Chain A
Amino acid sequence: MGLSTFIGGVHPFEGKELSADKPIQVIQPKGELVFPLSQHIGAPAKPLVAKGDAVLVGQKLAEAGGFISANVICSVSGTVKGIEPRLVANGSMVQSIIVESDGEYRTVEGFGAKRDYAKLSKQEIRDIVKEAGIVGLGGAGFPTNVKLSPKNEEAIDYIIVNAAECEPYLTSDYRVMMEQPERLIGGLKVILQLFDKAKGVIGIEENKPEAIKKLTELVKDEPRIEVCPLQTKYPQGGERFLIYAVTGGREISSAMLPADAGCIVDNVDTVVAIYNAVCETTPLIRRIITVTGDAVANPQNFEVRLGTNYQEVLEAAGGFKTQPEKMISGGPMMGQALFSLDIPVMKTSSALTCFTKDEVAAHEETPCIRCGRCIDVCPEHIVPQMMMAAAERNDLELFEKYNGMECCECGSCTFICPAHRPLTQAFKEMRKSVAAAKRKKA
């Protein structure tokens, strides 16, 4: 009690015990790797290589295609087999660079060289982060260098590390905190060097007491860093709800940026990626992924090279114990259902979750009884029940009037609905329709 949190939220079954105590295993890819040009928010990257080119670990395969975009870095050495559309986790075909690994992992010059971040200028740090192709690894994939370059640098007083890991079943951030805490703190110090007036806060849900203990111990002599335990509640790790909890009540709307509230928020793995890029000259070529769910033989956490096939990652976890009814890229609350494992691990791939039973299909939809649970749990304080009424009539105007565009698609309303109505699904479609109608008007 008394821990910081936000108003609303739900308590789905956590399921983290499946993989929480499994140390991160490093796995190496076999065969070809796929690097989608669009694995971040913003413009797709532009390819710098062509079919037949020899490439090295750490080599830039594609460069940012605009201000909000990110470089794509090669994670293996080998040969470019082609550039073609490939299936990714969200079900669409994305133009991708295909690299055949030679299994030798030869690196570009200077790769892995140690650097002292304290001697770098602010601009140098930002440039390194940009070159390294770092984006938000929590799931959204927003280019990190853009985040680190707010309009008003002086106004930033909080650097928040999103270590809530509120998504059920996911344990990758937890493992990073347990195994590489000094890298996490190192990365946070790098960011703090960019913002003189800011203090660093690591926000962790209280269901990870070991991580809280470990990090609190490590930062006790750091004047600018503190650990902030948070109530365990989904979606505590939603950027804006995390800001609200950590700063004691700063609210921003979905149209605003964390910087508008004086905050920069980065996920655990992202901060580690910043450390690796700045202090060890290692661009973003790996990520931590949790393979879990009751259908997986040995749920565990892996460090994988970006571009690795999901099937290989699953096999590393022993394959399926039972035939799954549902496979999800990400966690059960916000992840995307998969129909094929022939997809690459991308910068935003946090987990592969496989369930023996599909809960969605098992629950029959019944009429709304207006119980109001959706409104009570909505972290956005909007009105899912009424938005659904607008969605059923395809009334875009009414949907917007009910603040439908504020919806963060966290799924809390759909989780709690006793009538099991597909609220979030309808809202996703409506939000796209409203945005499309606006573009048409403009």
Chain B
Amino acid sequence: MSNKLLNVSSSPHVRSNVATKNLMYDVAIAMLPATIWGVMQFGIYSLIVVLVTVLSCVLSEYAYESLMHKPITISDGSAVVTGMILGLNMPPAIPLWIPVLGGMFAIIIVKQLYGGLGQNWMNPALAARCFLLISFAGAMTRFTDPMTDAIASATPLATIKAGGTYDVMSMFIGRIPGTIGEVSVIALLIGAAYMLYKKVISIRIPGTYILTFAVFAFIFGQHDLNYVLAEVCGGGLIFGAFFMATDYVTSPITPRGQIVFGVCLGILTGLFRIFGGSAEGVSYAIIFCNILVPLIEKYTLPVAFGKGGKKDGSK
């Protein structure tokens, strides 16, 4: 034996290869199909919007951590994911200074001021989107119709709310006006399937969310399957359910809590969309439910193995 010192530590002495970084990059990869579709639909400018948002988030994180003399964590990929989610939530023709401001708000106000990764109580990208939606309502709701390139066409959800109809198939494929990343259900589902396959997310939250919302829309909206499908495929529901509601930090950690969370989201989204003033409700529903997370967790602790078993005779 040479003099090299041995490491002594508590068991276990092996670690899984999956690190936070891998999970974050998997989420980013899962958003690529939707990004590519968005760029194909809305043109190269939308790609610039997404890139600028990501850059704004990453630079904000770098600047804040440098100024505060904290370890620089931009390589963990969480700022990239926040930037991508926020970027894909932007209307395709948005002036660039708006997503830049949004990225700064998401990272500095919502994430870093609360203590950085893992400490924020609401989803940074969503909080920033809602902030922008309230502050710059006009620019944030000015959508482009990919078919005609005309500005200010109504989204399918708004059309439905106004009593009109919309072709579900074009909503599923994504030939509709909307934000850059939310329009194509099929592209989003490809990304979701990737995350489920890689076990980055579980089906518990998105599954119960979409199902609850569909049932709610059927009961309180119209008793029409075509309508329910259009509501499910329209707006940010699929994007929100798979990419925003599943955000680890701001969703319940207990398995049963995740189911409760999904159900709450479905009901709230339904309430906002069907009884509210706006045609959309996913963002506000998710932020509202983020607040409920500690409460949900408190009442959904799992039952420990063997607890409640009786002594001498558990047959």
Binding site for B on A (CB under 8 A): 6, 10, 12-13, 91, 151-152, 155, 157, 168, 240-241, 244, 250-254, 256, 260-262, 320, 323-328, 330, 332-339, 355, 358-363, 366-372, 375-376, 379-383, 385-386, 402-403, 406, 409, 411, 414-420, 422, 424-425, 428
Q: How many A-B residue pairs have CB under 8 A?
A: 195
B76 & A366 in contact (Cβ 8 Å cutoff): yes
Closest to A405 in B: B304
Min Cβ gap A330→B in Å is 8
A335 & B312 in contact (Cβ 8 Å cutoff): no
B312 & A260 in contact (Cβ 8 Å cutoff): yes
C-alpha gap A152/B7 in the complex (Å): 47
Which B67-85 residues sit within 8 Å CB-CB of chain A?
Answer: 73, 76, 78
Which B262-315 residues sit within 8 Å CB-CB of chain A?
Answer: 297, 301-307, 309, 311-315
C-alpha gap A360/B22 in the complex (Å): 18
The 5 closest A-B pairs by CB, nearest first: A411-B12, A253-B306, A425-B10, A403-B304, A358-B7
Known contacts A250-B309, A369-B118; 6 further A-B pairs (Cβ under 8 A): A260-B313, A262-B313, A337-B11, A417-B16, A418-B16, A420-B19
Binding site for A on B (CB under 8 A): 1-2, 4, 6-16, 18-20, 22-23, 73, 76, 78, 116-119, 202, 248-249, 251, 253-255, 258, 297, 301-307, 309, 311-315
Closest to A7 in B: B305
A360 & B314 in contact (Cβ 8 Å cutoff): no
22 A-B pairs whose Cβ atoms sit less than 8 Å apart in the complex: A13-B14, A91-B8, A155-B313, A251-B306, A254-B306, A262-B314, A325-B7, A326-B13, A332-B11, A337-B11, A339-B8, A355-B13, A360-B15, A361-B9, A363-B19, A369-B118, A369-B248, A369-B249, A376-B202, A382-B302, A386-B301, A418-B20
A376 & B255 in contact (Cβ 8 Å cutoff): yes
A418 & B8 in contact (Cβ 8 Å cutoff): no
Please give, as numbers and ranges, the residues of chain A lying within 8 Å of B18 by CB-CB distance.
416, 418
Closest to B8 in A: A337
Please give, as numbers and ranges, the residues of chain B lying within 8 Å of A240 by CB-CB distance.
305-306
Min Cβ gap A156→B in Å is 11
Known: A383-B301, A385-B253, A406-B304. A415 touches B14 (CB 8 A): yes
Closest to B9 in A: A360
B306 & A337 in contact (Cβ 8 Å cutoff): no
A260 & B311 in contact (Cβ 8 Å cutoff): yes
Q: In the complex, which of the residues B12, B202, B309, B311 contacts A424, with contact meaning CB atoms closer than 8 Å?
A: B12
C-alpha gap A216/B303 in the complex (Å): 36
Please give, as numbers and ranges, the residues of chain B lying within 8 Å of A254 by CB-CB distance.
306
Q: In the complex, which of the residues B19, B251, B305, B313 contacts A381, with contact meaning CB atoms closer than 8 Å?
A: B305
Please give, as numbers and ranges, the residues of chain A lying within 8 Å of B312 by CB-CB distance.
151-152, 155, 260
Main secondary structure on A side of the interface with B: loop
B11 & A418 in contact (Cβ 8 Å cutoff): no
A334 & B305 in contact (Cβ 8 Å cutoff): no
Q: In the complex, which of the residues A256, A360, A370, A402 contacts B306, with contact meaning CB atoms closer than 8 Å?
A: A256
Min Cβ gap A147→B in Å is 16
Please give, as numbers and ranges, the residues of chain B lying within 8 Å of A253 by CB-CB distance.
304-307, 309
Min Cβ gap A262→B in Å is 6
C-alpha gap A367/B112 in the complex (Å): 13
Closest to B298 in A: A386
A261 & B314 in contact (Cβ 8 Å cutoff): yes
C-alpha gap A201/B116 in the complex (Å): 52
Q: In the complex, which of the residues A168, A339, A422 contacts B10, with contact meaning CB atoms closer than 8 Å?
A: A422
Please give, as numbers and ranges, the residues of chain B lying within 8 Å of A10 by CB-CB distance.
16
Please give, as numbers and ranges, the residues of chain A lying within 8 Å of B73 by CB-CB distance.
366
A261 & B19 in contact (Cβ 8 Å cutoff): no
Q: In the complex, which of the residues B7, B118, B248, B253 contacts A383, with contact meaning CB atoms closer than 8 Å?
A: B253
B302 & A375 in contact (Cβ 8 Å cutoff): yes
Closest to B22 in A: A418
C-alpha gap A325/B5 in the complex (Å): 7
B301 & A402 in contact (Cβ 8 Å cutoff): yes
A323 & B305 in contact (Cβ 8 Å cutoff): no
Please give, as numbers and ranges, the residues of chain A lying within 8 Å of B15 by CB-CB distance.
359-360, 362-363, 414-415, 417, 420
Min Cβ gap A57→B in Å is 31
B249 & A370 in contact (Cβ 8 Å cutoff): yes
Known: A251-B314, A261-B314. A325 touches B306 (CB 8 A): no
Closest to B307 in A: A253
Please give, as numbers and ranges, the residues of chain A lying within 8 Å of B258 by CB-CB distance.
372
C-alpha gap A339/B305 in the complex (Å): 35
Please give, as numbers and ranges, the residues of chain A lying within 8 Å of B13 by CB-CB distance.
326, 328, 332-333, 335, 337, 355, 358-360
Please give, as numbers and ranges, the residues of chain A lying within 8 Å of B315 by CB-CB distance.
157, 250, 262
Most B CB contacts (10 A, CB to CB) among A260, A320, A371 go to A371
